[in-house]
Amino acid sequence: MFAQPVYDLLLKGGHVIDPKNKLSAVRDVAIAGGKIAEVAVNIPASKARKTINVTGLHVTPGMVDIHVHVFATGGGSQYDGALSVWPDGHTFRNGVTTAVDAGTSGWRKFPLLRDSVFAHSETRMLAMLNIVGRGMGGDNEQDISDMDPKATADMAMKNKSIVVGVKTAHYAGPEWVAVERAVEAGTLANIPVMVDFGTFKEERPFADLVTKKLRPGDIYTHMYLPWVPMFDAKGKVQSSLWEGRKRGVIYDVGHGGGSFVFRHAANAIKQGLVPDSISTDLHAHSMNSGMKGMLNVMSKFLNLGMTLDDIILRTTVNPAREIKREELGTLSVGAEADVAVLRVQRGTFGFVDSLGAKMTGTQNLECELTLRAGKMVWDMNGISREDWHKLPSNYESQSDPHWDKTIAPNTPRVKK
């Protein structure tokens, strides 16, 4: 027996998937001071102040979603406004603890995004700056005169702790200027570039993007976009895509409202062209159409034949590495305790792609519990709680230090 508990919280009996540490096995996970304290077989419950039985569930690092749009206070009518969403309302219920705003703001408006959204989010928020100073949406994206590599890089370097990349999106002109200036900014600030290629033009062939224009470590998002020239006349993956991967170009899902079709994903995965990272492209339209959320996207890949271990790799350690935040996406001892507890549901489930096509699957992922820095910020079925009839009559006045009162201000027992 231990005289005094040494851990704050113990997740007991779950199947731990921690790709960074090459671990996929039943283990207990102990948390202390908001950090991962121990991962081992059969940690005694007496060592922890609180124990949660997660037998039959999967315990993973919190997901890292590198493509979201959350500039909900930008004041515009498109991405910097009505199309953006508040992160905390969509992240934790999907097991996401870190999200990257992918170019919704450029250098001109980034301080507003930082101060009005990031500063008030429990989700760990990071950003890629749009190469267009005024950011994403409408005619802004075609304004070459506002694509300033130096101003973008300067803003990134002034905010090194939260700016992790440069984004270019939706450019429709025949020139390479948007990509080239984004790469210039990324080079100046020593951060990766993410490209949403926009309109495909003969003058700037897609093959050149991944084989010539992007640097190793740069990211092509929307890899299963309906219009991407992914296959040759015989249905084989184009050689340029394999060459780009060999060069070190990253292929990201970026599902979104119009950027993922089953016919591309299923054929490419069969041939081995799986994504390097799985992201949502979360915004008001995508979440209300085929995309739904991170777990919906992950479930699609599960039903397309990828293993859960491979999917967790592509939603944790891989995206963390891509944005040069390798301390994230892991359950290593000493890492911040960002944790997701997932259930694999079995039955008959329907999934929809960006063009409205349906796929019927037999597996669906649901998030039971999410911890952010050791605090419970999502509990789907109350597995961390006591049944009400087992509590004393004055339970409203009692505290539970594991619940974050900023997330659930009206929930009993949330005092820190």
Residue 135 domain-assigned (yes or no): yes
Work out how many domains the chain is built from and give that number: 1
Strand order in the sheet with 193-196: 63-68, 96-106, 124-130, 163-169, 193-196, 219-220, 250-251
- CB neighbour list of residue 389: distance below 8 Å, 6 or more residues apart: none
pLDDT tens for the chain, 416 residues: list them. Answer: 446 899 999 999 999 999 999 999 999 999 999 999 999 999 999 999 999 999 999 999 999 999 999 999 877 767 878 899 999 999 999 999 999 999 999 999 999 999 999 999 999 999 999 999 999 988 889 999 999 999 999 999 999 999 999 999 999 999 999 999 999 999 999 999 999 997 888 999 999 999 999 999 999 999 999 989 999 999 999 999 999 999 999 999 999 999 999 999 999 999 999 999 999 999 999 999 999 999 999 999 999 999 999 999 999 999 999 999 999 999 999 999 999 999 999 999 999 999 999 999 999 999 999 999 999 999 999 999 988 888 887 766 556 666 665 444 333 332 22
pLDDT for the residue 411? 36
Residue 149 domain-assigned (yes or no): yes
Dist. CA 359–CA 352, nearest whole Å: 6
pLDDT for the residue 74? 75
Which of 114, 65, 121, 25 shows the shortest CA–CA distance to 325? 65
Residue 166 domain-assigned (yes or no): yes
Dist. CA 346–CA 343, nearest whole Å: 10
Q: Residue 84 belongs to what domain range?
A: 63-322
Residue 178 domain-assigned (yes or no): yes
Give the β-pairing of 23-32 and 7-18: antiparallel
Residue 243 domain-assigned (yes or no): yes
Residue 307 domain-assigned (yes or no): yes
- CB neighbour list of residue 96: distance below 8 Å, 6 or more residues apart: 62, 63, 64, 65, 90, 123, 294, 340, 370
pLDDT for the residue 415? 29
At 83, list the tokens.
């199309």
Residue 159 domain-assigned (yes or no): yes
DSSP secondary structure letter of residue 356: S
Residue 209 domain-assigned (yes or no): yes
At 52, list the tokens.
């949660």
Query: H helices of 53-174, where?
Result: 110-116, 149-158
Asked if residues 189 and 159 have their Cβ atoms less than 8 Å apart, the reply is no
**Residue 244 sits in a domain of what CATH number?**
3.20.20.140
